[in-house]
């Protein structure tokens, strides 16, 4: 009996182990954890990744069925993505990439079991390119304005850390028939403190999607200053026009309520600073020499202009006449004066 009992005890343990192994093999034979990863890059500039592309792993069991999405991801700022998904060997799998106003290839490549790399190339329906400084270094955070005056439509883009921008424009229809590509467009870079060459690029009617030549940026030098309040000057010194001359072209700025102004100028020139506002007398300033770095202008003061009273006293045959003059200064302080000894 003891021998028989030991036999059944061992048989139960082996049965459990065999059942577990069969279940494990069955499970792993049909459902696996697989991975697909890769990068989406520009077809015009293959070194540059395209962000915001939706990547989907799709599956179906039979060829007449529609594809269903089983996992999804979005490319990061470098154009990279990675998706881990659960695979069933009875199904077919493919990877799909899409982004509005981009043509992406290859189209829906199939996925095999295991770990797989799948890269894509994206062609923008619009324009792309680079913004760099005079030394060839990228300039980030430059706003790119893409404008079609005829359609009255504008699209915006921003350069990334590589100085790269990609602006999809899409249909941009007029009356549902004509597109952005039918009309001339203008592409303009802008960033505070920078001067770009060329200042804009124009594309004629029936232009095609393309990578534009580089915009070259030159860093400008900041000139600051604060105009002080002279006697009886207004407390609010906003709206004073400040003109800076002496460079290849005049530059301008305007003061805030405290009299502060900021202007950007080209390096290597000596500038004269001339503030003006009706009703105020303001002295000029100078950088004192060619500017190579930021300069703060001091010694600027605004005072009210002098007023001259002129007229003729009528109806008095002889004697002395006094005239009282009163009013309020620009700073709100009242005044009263009397002109005496007039005959």
Inform me whether the pLDDT recorded for 21 exceeds 80.
Answer: no
Q: What is the pLDDT of residues 77-88, one digit of tens each?
A: 999 999 999 989
Which pLDDT score is estimated for 333? 57
pLDDT tens column, 295-334: 999 999 999 876 565 666 665 555 566 665 555 655 555 5
Are 92 and 60 in contact by the 8 Å Cβ rule? The answer is yes
Identify the helix (H) or strand (E) that includes residue 24: helix 2-30
> What is the tens place of the pLDDT at every residue in 127-150?
999 999 999 999 999 999 999 888
pLDDT more than 90, % of the chain: 65
User: How would DSSP label each residue in 266-309?
Assistant: -TT---EEEEE-TTEEE--EE-SS--SS-EEE---EEEEPP---
Q: Which two tokens stand for residue 303?
A: 């005072």
Average pLDDT of the residues in 243-258:
95
For residue 152, what pLDDT band results from cuts at 50, 70 and 90?
Answer: confident
Q: Are 232 and 327 in contact (CB under 8 A)?
A: no
pLDDT category of residue 12 using cuts at 50, 70 and 90? low
Beta strands across the sheet bearing 295-297: 260-265, 221-226, 295-297
Flag the least confident range among 98-102, 174-178, 199-203.
174-178
- Read off the pTM: 0.71
CA distance 136 to 286: 33
Q: Are 218 and 315 in contact (CB under 8 A)?
A: no
């Amino acid at each position: 009996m003891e021998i028989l009992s030991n036999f059944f005890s061992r048989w139960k343990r082996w049965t459990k182990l065999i059942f577990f192994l069969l279940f494990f093999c069955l499970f792993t034979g049909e459902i696996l954890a697989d991975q697909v990863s890769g990068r989406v890059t520009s077809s015009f500039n293959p070194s540059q990744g395209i962000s915001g592309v939706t990547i989907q792993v799709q599956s179906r069991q039979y060829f007449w069925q529609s594809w269903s999405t089983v996992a999804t991801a979005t490319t990061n700022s470098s154009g990279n993505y990675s998706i881990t998904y659960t695979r069933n060997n009875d199904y077919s799998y493919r990877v799909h990439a899409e982004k509005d106003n981009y043509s992406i290839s290859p189209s829906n490549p199939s996925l095999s079991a295991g770990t797989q790399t799948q890269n894509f190339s994206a062609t923008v329906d619009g324009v792309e390119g680079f913004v760099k400084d005079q030394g060839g270094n990228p300039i980030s955070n430059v706003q790119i304005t893409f404008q079609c005056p005829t359609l009255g439509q504008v699209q915006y883009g921003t350069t990334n850390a590589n100085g790269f921008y990609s602006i999809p424009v899409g249909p941009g229809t007029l009356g549902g028939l004509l597109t952005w590509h039918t009309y001339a467009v203008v592409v303009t870079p802008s960033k505070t403190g920078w001067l770009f060459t060329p200042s804009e690029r124009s594309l004629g009617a029936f232009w095609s999607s393309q990578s534009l030549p580089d915009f070259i940026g030159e860093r400008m030098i900041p000139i600051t200053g604060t105009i002080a309040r002279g006697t009886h000057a207004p407390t609010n010194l906003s709206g004073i026009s400040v003109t800076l001359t002496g460079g290849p072209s005049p530059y301008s700025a305007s003061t805030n309520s405290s009299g502060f102004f900021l202007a950007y100028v080209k390096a290597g020139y000596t500038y004269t600073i001339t503030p003006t506002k009706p009703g105020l007398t303001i002295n000029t300033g100078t950088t004192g020499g060619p500017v190579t770095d930021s300069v703060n202008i001091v010694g600027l003061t605004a005072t009210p202009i002098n007023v001259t009273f002129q007229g003729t006293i009528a109806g008095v045959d002889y004697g002395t006449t006094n005239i009282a003059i009163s009013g309020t200064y620009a700073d709100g302080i009242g005044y009263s004066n009397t002109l005496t000894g007039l005959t």
